[in-house]
Structure 1
């Protein structure tokens, strides 16, 4: 299991003018490593990838690889809804020293299952890096079927993991049962991490780990050592925070939370907008109850 148990889909810190805030990128990387993250996903959806240019994505991946310096693995979010562009960024990401790539289901253009298969096969075969597939029908408008995921894991050797964010536990169980044996399935939903683990997932690709990394790590570790009740208790305690982090368009709530924790600023790029005052008050209350404010 090359990527570990706790993976974080990292934000992209930005200045008030909308540029990437490189000192804050370093601060976030250090914060994540210090709170238990095994692998960092860079330039994914939580990193506002649709608003990043190709050049920004590549520079960001390269920068995080240097900053992590082997202390955490770096997974480049190189997928998009354009196969040719995904191939190009994936090849370039490999040259940066990234440890793997994550490929999201193409969004908006609603490909068929055969289209998904051909897309992922084409991109995965363009690199020697380990590939994580990312199924998120809530954002892509298409659910990658178990048949398609299983077919890909059987036909493409370097597809080694799947981030599954359908929320369908029956689908997760079927995938775990039928996939290639060495393929790792990860929960892509913080609020369902323990249920996903019970269905056979090996860990989580988390957003909440920015704020509660130690708790997320303890939850996963508790489950895996057989302390299921303890894991369930942690999961239940984290639900209000997780819901708060998605109370409006992500990653605006998360960035505001990290600004309260003095990790980085809260600037986002349009079409994401900052929280309004009542949402800020709610996030402040959540963090205070969790003792996350100094």
Structure 2
């Protein structure tokens, strides 16, 4: 899993004004982030507005990403749900030969117990043809996956190889880093906290910001992993206001606002997500003028 160290980017899904997928813009975005130095891409993450995509669109997006990445970097595929049986079926049916790993969010809405979370992941890992990356994001799922549950899965299930940790709880992150198996990766899911988490021993980041800040974000992660923290700090503080703007209203409204300002994609969404407000969009423009 060395290929999953460094910077991964959770790709947005560009839309046209009629809400159809903008395939040309997606190809441009893929080339932009790879040219910017990211180590791998993640397709079908929640930043890609996957709850609004049909099953056929998800399959098309995955195939398109494989084709346009063309093995220049690894591709991680997001497959997660609160219905364990449905996740298993998708893992068995999806054409995943070109995937490096599966990113699977913890079950959401139903708020299962820690044992329920453990059994969910153990079941899908047994069915998966690819390694599983756990994903803890309690602000969206409604249930925190504790350090004990993460470490139990890391030690018990061979096909679970990493954790994307986005709880924002630094103590919990350090417990996982301290207790994990040697080859188990701990990956940040918080752009604004990535630098201190790398300093604590995380192995990289799956980033939203790297959709736009690909070059500087990838350089920050690379220099931090090389223990060059003065250089990493300078890049972090250069980007810090950008992180605040990206997440001040909604993800992916913020990052799409950045990409739209740069002309990489159109500023279009599917309900219930709306574009950044006019005030935020102006702030993004002012930030980019001085960036």
The two structures have a TM-score, normalised by structure 2, of 0.96
1:278 corresponds to 2:282: no
**Paired residues of 2:91 and 2:129 also in contact (CA < 8 A):** no
**Paired residues of 1:65 and 1:96 also in contact (CA < 8 A):** no
Deviation readout 1:207-247 (Å, 9 max, x if unpaired): 11111111111111222222212212221221100111112
Deviation readout 1:2-31 (Å, 9 max, x if unpaired): 323000011011111111111111111111
Deviation readout 1:81-134 (Å, 9 max, x if unpaired): 111221222233343522211000111110110110111111111112111110
**Paired residues of 1:81 and 1:107 also in contact (CA < 8 A):** yes
**How far apart are the structure 2 equivalents of 1:95 and 1:168?**
33
Partner of 1:176: 177
The alignment's C-alpha RMSD in Å is 1.2
**Paired residues of 2:102 and 2:130 also in contact (CA < 8 A):** yes
**Paired residues of 1:80 and 1:104 also in contact (CA < 8 A):** yes
**How far apart are the structure 1 equivalents of 2:59 and 2:6?**
25
**Paired residues of 2:162 and 2:187 also in contact (CA < 8 A):** yes
Deviation readout 1:149-178 (Å, 9 max, x if unpaired): 111111211111110001111111110111
**Paired residues of 2:8 and 2:206 also in contact (CA < 8 A):** yes
Partner of 1:232: 233
Partner of 2:115: 114
Partner of 2:64: 63
Q: Which moved more, 1:224-233 or 1:205-214?
A: 224-233
Q: Secondary structure at the match of 2:94?
A: helix
**How far apart are the structure 1 equivalents of 2:66 and 2:5?**
17
Q: Give aligned pairs, total.
A: 290
Partner of 2:218: 217
Q: Which runs of 5+ in 1 are unaligned?
A: none
**How far apart are the structure 1 equivalents of 2:187 and 2:140?**
17
Partner of 2:31: 30
1:53 corresponds to 2:90: no
Structure 1 residues 9 and 270, CA gap change in structure 2 (3 angstroms): same
Q: Secondary structure at the match of 1:95?
A: coil
Partner of 1:101: 102
Q: Which moved more, 1:53-62 or 1:87-96?
A: 87-96
Q: Which has the higher contact order (CA 8 A, sep 6+)?
A: 2
Q: Secondary structure at the match of 2:224?
A: helix
**How far apart are the structure 1 equivalents of 2:149 and 2:19?**
38
Partner of 1:266: 267
**How far apart are the structure 2 equivalents of 1:223 and 1:96?**
32
